Amino acid sequence: MVKLELDQVVMRRMKEDDIEVVKALIKEGSEGTENRLILHILTRPLCLFILAVLSSILRCLVHSFILALAIPVFLLIVFLKITMPRSTGVLGSSRPYWDYVGSSYRGTQDETLQNPYCRISGKTPVMKRPRRRISPKEKDKEVTTEKITPEREQTAGQVWLAECDFDIIGCIFRENESRAGIRRICRVVTGCWYRREGLGRLLVQSLEQRERETGAHRVYAHVPFPSKVGEVFFRKLGYQLLGEGTNNEDDEERNLEAPERGFLGYPLTKVFYKDL
């Protein structure tokens, strides 16, 4: 655990040459998410019933109780790993996670989020060192072969980075504005050495302040279903689970803001919301 001075954190838009660093940060933050989601689905009653039926059928064919039990489970795990939606934050392919939100590094890259701790302490955070100029030869070598399609451009969201002492220590993903006044947070990640230091709270609250100033009145956050830590985190920030209310507005929003669903229609994410 590293003691973090929150007033020295700079929050800026992700740039193209930050991709590999952020990719590693997201992979670290998503570690274990896929396995927890698979275990969640395997332990649902309907899924257990289907596995029991298949095992009973195989028991007559393979004449082995262990094989009859293991084969259906193994095949279902492989199927879930292949078909698990990328929007749950699971990595495992060559594409970066923000393929879900489009080419997020494109756009105005000099934007920053306001850090409220700077106003309290009166200090000015140290900005990142100027980047080394890349020669034309090096630039040709670094050109990506990935094709940016118009669909990805259209669905481009925003990735904001938290930077301190010239290191990227956290990030937050915000989807594109598909509905007027509505924003959606689909991922918040902090480096393992900077957790429980208030960095995640700083990222979320700073982004909320910016969205409030741009006219947003509600923010949604999608959290992987078995993530108790994520659920507690957003509840402490004033978010509510969608569907806990009983008014007609919540019923309408539940139809518009549906959680991700996987095998047999079981939900893979929980949807939280906060009115700004």
pLDDT digits (tens, 9 = 90+) for 115-145: 887 766 556 555 555 444 444 444 444 444 5
| Chain segment 95-108, per-residue pLDDT in tens | 555 555 555 666 55
pLDDT at position 91? 46
By CB atoms closer than 10 A (0-12, 13-18, 19+), residue 93 is exposed
> In the beta sheet, which residues pair with residue 160?
13, 172
How many structural domains are present in the chain? 1
Q: 142 in a domain, yes or no? A: no
pLDDT at position 226? 74
Q: 60 in a domain, yes or no? A: no
pLDDT at position 133? 45
**Contact predicate 157/173, CB 8 Å:** yes
Q: 207 in a domain, yes or no? A: yes
Average pLDDT over residues 174-183: 81
Which residues form the domain of 104?
Answer: 10-34+89-125+152-245+252-275
CATH code (residue 99) = 3.40.630.30
Helix (H) or strand (E) holding 39: helix 33-42
**Contact predicate 58/67, CB 8 Å:** yes
Q: How many CB atoms lie within 10 A of CB 59?
A: 14
pLDDT at position 248? 60
Q: 227 in a domain, yes or no? A: yes
Which of the residue ranges 1-10, 98-107, 162-171, 250-259 would you say has the lowest mean pLDDT? 98-107
Question: Is residue 113 scored above 60 in pLDDT?
Answer: yes
Strand 182-190 relative to strand 218-224: parallel, antiparallel, unpaired? parallel
Average pLDDT over residues 38-49: 89
Q: Both tokens of residue 83?
A: 């078909």
Query: What pTM was computed for the model?
Result: 0.77
What percentage of residues in the chain have a pLDDT greater than 70? 72
Query: CA-to-CA distance for 180 and 250, rounded, in angstroms?
Result: 17
Query: CA-to-CA distance for 46 and 48, rounded, in angstroms?
Result: 5
| Chain segment 60-80, per-residue pLDDT in tens | 888 888 888 899 999 999 888
Q: 211 in a domain, yes or no? A: yes
Q: 78 in a domain, yes or no? A: no
pLDDT at position 168? 87
pLDDT at position 73? 92
Q: 50 in a domain, yes or no? A: no
Q: 101 in a domain, yes or no? A: yes
Alpha carbon 34 to chain centroid, angstroms: 13
Query: CA-to-CA distance for 233 and 113, rounded, in angstroms?
Result: 21
